A = this chain, B = another copy of it.
Amino acid sequence: MIGDSVEVKAEDVNNKVVKILGKSFGKAKAKRIAEVLMWSEMCGIKTQGLVKLTGAVPLQNVKPTGKITITKKGRNSSVINGYNNSGALVAQVGVDLAIKRAKKAGIYAVGINGYNTSTGTLSFYANRIADAGFIGVVMARSIASVAPFESIDPLFGTNPMCYAFPTKDKPLIFDMATSALTWYGLVRAKMLNEKIPRGVAIDKNGNITEEPVEALEGALLPFDKGYKGSGLGMVVEIFAGILAGGRFSDTEPENSASLFILAIDPSVLVDASEFRSKCSEMIKRIKSARTKSGNNAIRLPGERAHEAYERCIKTGVVDIDEATLRAIGFIK
């Protein structure tokens, strides 16, 4: 279902992205936003990458209505209103705050609402929290597009949840959408004029469809097509929607996305160094578990993405959809 892609120099395309975003937001902010988009492309998560600069309402066209503002502050929590600034920027402000405050508070929660478009891949933010030594939990509510189990109306967002844990080595990251396909997966399939996999979405009458246009009028399904995936989508709708001061269970496009961040210093419960060692030991046990075929190649969550990222860093080259590169004017 994927269109053609080409290998391009990561630096060049990053410069192009910064230039596009810089016109709208200034260079400093553009750089921060570009970092999130490029991270996704380098991790191979194309649905959260430069595709966000394309489509009907591209990221660079959003108009902030004010400064990013802390609207509520407690001893171990804050709420941030993004005033229509880009989600990728506002989320970084929230993550920075969570890390700074968790050092003292031990456990720190941030609710973020009022920003424009989604934040991009959550692993970027959770990874940063774990890099600072904390357990990172990040959940995002987005425009209702997923039908709860047994229903055919969209009431939950694709609602990803991401967990990152510090280890002795790089953070262990688990990032998943609670939907069977991401929203940008739909948008991207539409842009590329491709079908979507069978069984991930229904049309407005509840019939399974492979047409992204019909799915956009209908609904996506929970990732497991069952009540557990649906329930997890609901959990995110509450944490990242209601608790974060955002919207919930509706299809209003305005301020549709909101975010919940939790940073936990493992040392509030156990010895932090022991926590890291044990996480590393667990990884070792998973990696060395038997497989049915006897071919020991078990992949950890996030491992494929991390390897792709490291490869890009090493080679300086990143693989990006031709259609996206054309849409942003990087190639003709």
A interface residues with partner B (beta carbon < 8 Å): 72, 74-77, 79, 105-107, 109, 111, 135, 147-153, 155, 163, 165, 174, 176, 205-207, 223-224, 226-232, 234-235, 237-239, 242-245, 248-249, 264, 266, 268-270, 275, 278-279, 281-282, 285-286, 289-292, 297-299, 301
Neighbour of A150 across the interface among B245, B268, B279, B298, CB < 8 A: B298
Closest to A247 in B: B278
B244 touches A269 (CB 8 A): yes
A106 touches B152 (CB 8 A): no
Complex alpha-carbon distance, A107 and B109, angstroms: 9
Q: Which residues of B contact A242 (CB under 8 A)?
A: 270, 275, 278-279, 282
Complex alpha-carbon distance, A224 and B232, angstroms: 13
B79 touches A289 (CB 8 A): no
Closest to A278 in B: B242
Q: Which residues of B contact A279 (CB under 8 A)?
A: 238, 242
B148 touches A74 (CB 8 A): no
A107 touches B77 (CB 8 A): yes
Known pairs A107-B76, A231-B176; A152 contacts B290 (CB<8 A): yes
Q: Which residues of B contact A232 (CB under 8 A)?
A: 174, 176, 232
Copy tally for this chain in the complex stands at 2
A286 touches B109 (CB 8 A): no
A282 touches B248 (CB 8 A): yes
- Closest 6 CB pairs between A and B? A206-B292, A151-B289, A153-B289, A224-B224, A174-B231, A77-B268
B135 touches A243 (CB 8 A): yes
Closest approach, in angstroms, between the C-beta of A317 and any C-beta of chain B? 27
A291 touches B105 (CB 8 A): no
Known pairs A75-B106, A174-B231; A150 contacts B249 (CB<8 A): no
A289 touches B174 (CB 8 A): no
Complex alpha-carbon distance, A107 and B249, angstroms: 26
Closest approach, in angstroms, between the C-beta of A17 and any C-beta of chain B? 30
B106 touches A76 (CB 8 A): yes
Neighbour of A174 across the interface among B151, B235, B248, B291, CB < 8 A: B235
Q: Which residues of B contact A299 (CB under 8 A)?
A: 150
Q: Which residues of B contact A244 (CB under 8 A)?
A: 269-270
Q: Which residues of B contact A75 (CB under 8 A)?
A: 106
A79 touches B270 (CB 8 A): yes
Q: Which residues of B contact A297 (CB under 8 A)?
A: 150
Q: Which residues of B contact A286 (CB under 8 A)?
A: 148, 151, 155, 234, 249
Q: Which residues of B contact A153 (CB under 8 A)?
A: 289-290
Closest to A260 in B: B269
B79 touches A105 (CB 8 A): no
B76 touches A235 (CB 8 A): no
Closest approach, in angstroms, between the C-beta of A313 and any C-beta of chain B? 24
Complex alpha-carbon distance, A238 and B150, angstroms: 32
Q: Which residues of B contact A205 (CB under 8 A)?
A: 292
